[in-house]
Structure 1
Amino acid sequence: MKHLFLYRSLSVSSILWINMALVFMYGTLKKGQPNYFRIEDTDNGQAKFIAHARSVEKYPLVIDTEYNIPFLLNVPGTGQRVYGEIYRVDQKMLKFLDDFEILSPEWYERIKIQLEVLVVDSEGENTLKPGSTVETDVYIKTTYKQEWLQKPTYECYDTNGDHGLKYKEPV
Structure 2
Amino acid sequence: MPLVFVYGTLKKGQPNYFRLIDSSNGQAEFITCARTVEPYPLVITGECNIPFLLNVPGSGQRVYGEIYSVDQKMLEFLDWFEECPDWYQRTLIQLEILKGNGETEVEEAFVYTKTKYEPDWLNKPTYDSYDSNGDHGLKYAYEEDMTRSTLDQKSADFSQNSEQEIKKNNSLQILTSTGDDHDVNFRGPLQ
Q: What TM-score do the two structures reach when normalised by structure 1?
A: 0.81
Identify which of structures 1 and 2 has the higher relative contact order when contacts are C-alpha pairs closer than 8 Å and 6+ apart: 1
State the match for 2:84 in structure 1: 103
Corresponding residue for residue 89 of structure 1: 70
Query: In structure 2, which of residues 125, 130, 136 is the aligned counterpart of residue 157 of structure 1?
Result: 130
Deviation at 1:130, TM superposition (A): 5.5
The 5 A counterparts of 1:1-171 are 20-105=1-86, 107-118=87-98, 131-169=104-142, 171=146
- Call closer, same or farther: CA 1:118–1:100 in 2, change over 3 Å: same
d(CA) in 2 for partners of 1:166, 1:119: 32
Cα offset for 1:139? 0.3
Deviation at 1:146, TM superposition (A): 0.4
Structural RMSD (CA): 1.4
What SS is found at the alignment partner of 1:137? strand
Report the secondary structure of 2:112's partner residue. strand
Equivalents in 2 of 1:166, 1:43: separation in Å? Answer: 27
Q: Which has the higher helix share?
A: 2
Q: Is the 8 A contact 2:89 2:112 kept in 1?
A: yes
Could you tell me which amino acid in structure 1 is paired with residue 113 of structure 2?
A: I
Structure 2 gaps of 5+ residues are: 147-191
CA distance in 2, matches of 1:130, 1:45: 33
Checking the alignment, whether the CA contact within 8 Å between 2:99 and 2:105 is kept in structure 1 is no
Distance 1:157 1:85 in 2: 11
Q: Would the aligned equivalents of 1:61 and 1:72 in 2 still touch at CA under 8 Å?
A: yes
Size of the alignment, in residue pairs? Answer: 143
2-structure distance, mates of 1:118, 1:131: 5
Identity of paired residues, percent?
A: 66
Moved over 2 A (4+): none
Q: Deviations over 1:97-143 (max 9, x none)?
A: 000000024x11001000001368xxxxxxxx951000000000000
Aligned residues of 1:53 and 1:119 also touching (Cα < 8 A): no
Note the C-alpha offset of 1:37.
0.3
